[in-house]
Amino acid sequence: MSKKILILTASPVRDVLIDNMIKEELERLGHKVWVCPCLREGRDAVLKYKPDIVVVPPIRNPYSRDFVEVCKSWGCGVISRHTEPSCDWADFKKGDERMKSEILGRWRYNIDKELVWGDDEVQILDRRKSGFPAISMGAIGLDVYFNKDLRKTLTDKDDFFTKYKLDPTKKTVLIASPWGFADSAPDLSIDEIVDAQKDMEGQGKHLAMIEQVSNSLKDKWNILVTTHPGVAQGPYVGITKKLGIPLDSESPMMKLVLHCDALVHAGSTAAVSAHILNIPSFQYGDVNSKVGTSWWGTPDSSISKVSPYYTDPQLLVDDILKSKRISNANKKTIKSLEAGRYGKMDGKGYIRAAKEISEVEGKFQFAWPIPHNDYDQLNVFKNQEKATQEGHCGICKAKFYILNTQYMKELCAFVEGKKEKLSMLNQTFCPNCAARFIKK
């Protein structure tokens, strides 16, 4: 049966390509599908298209938790698609309680399915006993790099060199900013972005590297700088303007790296993308340094071992000059990522995702908004725990219930020993919406 499906994309720059691939596969299966940005526009899109199924980014805060709660109350099936790899068992076991709560979810939510990357994460998330399954899609975010048809639409070299005013007779090195230092949307600030802003020393080192690489290479190579979605643009605009080199802050990584002969990054997943495209990558510094506060990156993490590592910009320049257009990724590390954080890298994650999405049931229908006021009374409660507490016998193990002491105090204070007041307790209303028409 054909369904109306709305895919809410996390980043219109980074994630929309894979969301469009999922859209095309769902349309091939006979469904009506839309792709819209999630932040700022997601709520309006649900009201506009009235979908039966909603696909959302990872649910990491109360806003997104409440959003899916309302979608479910309207009859929608809800699927969360993870846009990035998460952790493997090695990550999880060495993490502190804060890290584990981030992985398992600080805010519980109710959806139909959670589509993640690796099998390890499925097993980890199953510890939540959430009532809905986590399902491994493999390295779905990398599917775009396997898609030869999509690559053909993005490989007009003439347009590329013209847009950035590059010399077509030279090789091109792409320098990618670390993901952090983001403050371009202060009204959408999250803890991880605030943490990244603190590492100003790391930002300074990265900008200094760009200047030294540019001064050493620009006579022989084209240099293009790109910023991660959400990164503060000011420092990068300033350094590229000073050096007279181009800056891209809008294009997805795939559209840029396809035309380049080498990639410089700071511990980024782009290193794996470059490997798939058979392009050499070089890691300068480490966004996953010990000064960071994120569990995701540590200096010994696999993602920081994909590429050769540099702390000296001149050694970096020397090896870029000697490089050939072929992957230099550590094959052992790639295998460890596929077995752990990333899952299967075969370019078919979007097909598996479309199948899982299409199997979810849902039918959009308006419903009264979920009330969050508490209209409890002394004789009617939202939760029975207000009046009783469950216990069990230490000998026979049988369950029993104890009246809550605070409830007893409130009840006695109301009755004041007067029987006539007991009849007033029959004047009840719904503890959820305060309606007086209830069924016992």
CA–CA separation, 79 and 263 (whole Å): 34
Cβ contacts of 2 within 8 Å, gap of 6 or more = 30, 31, 32
Using DSSP's 3-state secondary structure scheme, residue 197 falls into: helix
Nearest one of 206, 328, 162 to 261, comparing CA atoms: 328
Q: Dihedral of CA 64/66/70/75: which sign?
A: positive
Cα dist. 302→39, 142, 281, 312, 346 in Å?
A: 31, 17, 15, 21, 19
CA–CA separation, 130 and 194 (whole Å): 29
CA–CA separation, 274 and 15 (whole Å): 17
Q: Extract the tokens encoding 11.
A: 């980043």
Angle (CA) 204 303 147, round 5°: 110
Determine the angle formed by the axes of helices 16-28 and 349-358, rounding to 10 degrees. Answer: 60
Using DSSP's 3-state secondary structure scheme, residue 164 falls into: coil
Contact 250, 224 (CB under 8 A): no
Cα dist. 178→29, 159, 193, 195, 428 in Å?
A: 38, 27, 12, 13, 59
Q: How many residues does the chain have?
A: 440
Q: Extract the tokens encoding 210.
A: 């760009």
Contact 225, 266 (CB under 8 A): no
Using one digit for the tens of pLDDT, what is the confidence trace for 266-302?
888 899 999 999 999 999 975 544 444 555 556 667 8
Element of type H or E holding 8: strand 4-9
Name the E strands within 66-149.
77-81, 113-116, 134-136
Cβ contacts of 248 within 8 Å, gap of 6 or more = 164, 224, 225, 226, 227, 256
Q: What is the pLDDT along the chain (440 residues), one digit of tens a residue?
A: 899 999 999 988 789 999 999 999 999 999 999 999 998 899 999 999 999 999 999 998 888 999 999 999 999 999 999 998 888 888 888 888 878 888 888 888 999 999 999 999 999 999 888 899 999 999 999 999 999 888 888 778 888 999 999 999 999 999 998 865 444 444 454 555 444 454 455 677 889 999 999 999 999 999 999 987 667 788 899 999 999 999 998 888 888 999 999 999 988 889 999 999 999 999 997 554 444 455 555 666 788 889 998 989 999 999 999 999 999 999 999 999 999 999 999 999 999 999 999 999 999 998 887 777 888 888 888 888 888 989 989 899 899 999 988 888 888 888 887 877 877 777 788 888 888 766 66
Contact 431, 383 (CB under 8 A): no
CA–CA separation, 55 and 9 (whole Å): 8
Nearest one of 268, 13, 276 to 148, comparing CA atoms: 276
Q: Longest C-alpha distance within the chain, in Å? A: 97
> What's the whole-model pTM score?
0.79
Element of type H or E holding 36: strand 32-37
CA–CA separation, 388 and 425 (whole Å): 18
Determine the angle formed by the axes of helices 42-49 and 62-73, rounding to 10 degrees. Answer: 10
Q: Could you give all domains of the chain from N- to C-terminal order, each with its CATH number?
A: 4-142+349-358 (3.40.50.2300), 153-331 (3.40.50.2000), 371-440 (no CATH)
Contact 141, 18 (CB under 8 A): yes
Using one digit for the tens of pLDDT, what is the confidence trace for 53-105?
999 999 988 889 999 999 999 999 999 999 988 888 888 888 888 788 888 88
CA–CA separation, 4 and 320 (whole Å): 49
